[in-house]
A = this chain, B = another copy of it.
């Protein structure tokens, strides 16, 4: 049997909220198995960008990363947010190391091709983009990897990269060496049968159940890409995917008493 590895992704609802972040990091640090944290950026980049006169622009909900914006997110995600998390984890006796995909060439990306939309300095990755060997060297030296949502193109350019995708690429790539549990923390308690009822969490979604839920039109549309992503991870070697709220998800990280388990 392979050793267990947790790959956990947190987004803006935790990163932007000091209390929620502290509480999350305490739970995270208490996981004794090898672990990787991937954090999104949050609103702090937009706030600092506004102060610097850098306007955030979005097309179809996706940030357009121009030259000023890639510098901004490199500073804020790769510096401010990442190093604060690392320093806090160190204070919790968790030996964290803050990383972008450029560091140790861990995640190589391709700049998104310009078609109808030019996303600017946005990077696309898959599991083949990850140097699993170096990640394993770090993990086996008892280091906890903390990734900012940044990669690089190998030609000297940092690229803005979706944190969900970084988490799943890492999870898939490391599933050859570890039993990987991929955990997506978001603002809901889990996948809900009724999006307005936090008590309607679906505890387990198998492929069969998923087909049935789609046929019955039970699911909120916004959750479908997350579930598709989860099954893609499972089809590529990840043992299971858990989706839910950080508050209670990590306290029962092995017990499966909260959130939605996808397997």
Q: How far does the Cβ of A149 sit from chain B's closest Cβ, in whole Å?
A: 12
Q: Cβ of B152 and Cβ of A104 under 8 Å apart?
A: no
Query: How large, as a class, is the contact surface on chain A?
Result: 35 or more
Binds B, one of A56-64, A88-96, A110-118, A249-257: A88-96
The complex places the Cα of A158 from the Cα of B155 at a distance, in Å, of 31
A155 to B88, CA, bound (A): 7
For the complex, what is the distance from the CA of A156 to the CA of B87, rounded to whole Å?
4
- Chain B residues positioned under 8 Å from A97 (CB to CB): 99, 103-104
The residue from B83, B143, B154 contacting A78, defined by CB atoms under 8 A apart: B83
Given A100-B98, A158-B84, verify A79-B90 contact (CB < 8 Å).
no
User: How far does the alpha carbon of A91 sit from the alpha carbon of B108 in the complex, in Å?
Assistant: 11
- Of B80, B99, B152, the residue contacting A87 (CB under 8 A) is B152
**Among B141, B150, B156, B157, contact of A134 (Cβ-Cβ < 8 Å):** B141
Residue of B nearest to A92 (CB): B156
Interface residues of A in 34-55 (CB under 8 A from B): 48, 51-53
Segment with Cβ contacts to B, from A2-10, A68-76, A174-182: A68-76
Q: Does A77 contact B (CB under 8 A)?
A: yes
Q: Find chain B residues with CB under 8 A from A102 CB.
A: 83, 86-87, 90, 96, 98
Scoring A74, A134, A152 by chain B CB atoms within 10 A of each residue's CB, the highest score goes to A74
A137 to B138, CA, bound (A): 9
Q: In the complex, what distance in Å separates the CA atom of A84 from the CA atom of B156? A: 7
| Contact residue among B71, B78, B90, B156 (Cβ-Cβ distance under 8 Å from A152) | B90
Chain B residues with Cβ below 8 Å from A137 are: 137, 141
Min CB distance A134 to B, Å, is 7
Q: In the complex, A156→B95 CA distance in Å?
A: 12
Bound form: Cα–Cα A48–B80 in Å: 14
A203 within 8 A of B: no
Cα A103 to Cα B94 in complex, Å, equals 11
- Tell whether A13 is near chain B: CB-to-CB under 8 Å: no
Listed by A's residue number, 16 A-B pairs whose Cβ atoms lie within 8 Å are A51-B51, A74-B83, A74-B84, A75-B75, A75-B79, A77-B79, A78-B83, A79-B80, A83-B100, A83-B102, A90-B156, A95-B105, A96-B102, A97-B99, A137-B137, A137-B141
By Cβ-Cβ distance, the 10 closest A-B pairs, closest first, are A79-B79, A91-B156, A75-B79, A75-B75, A78-B79, A75-B80, A97-B104, A97-B103, A87-B102, A87-B152
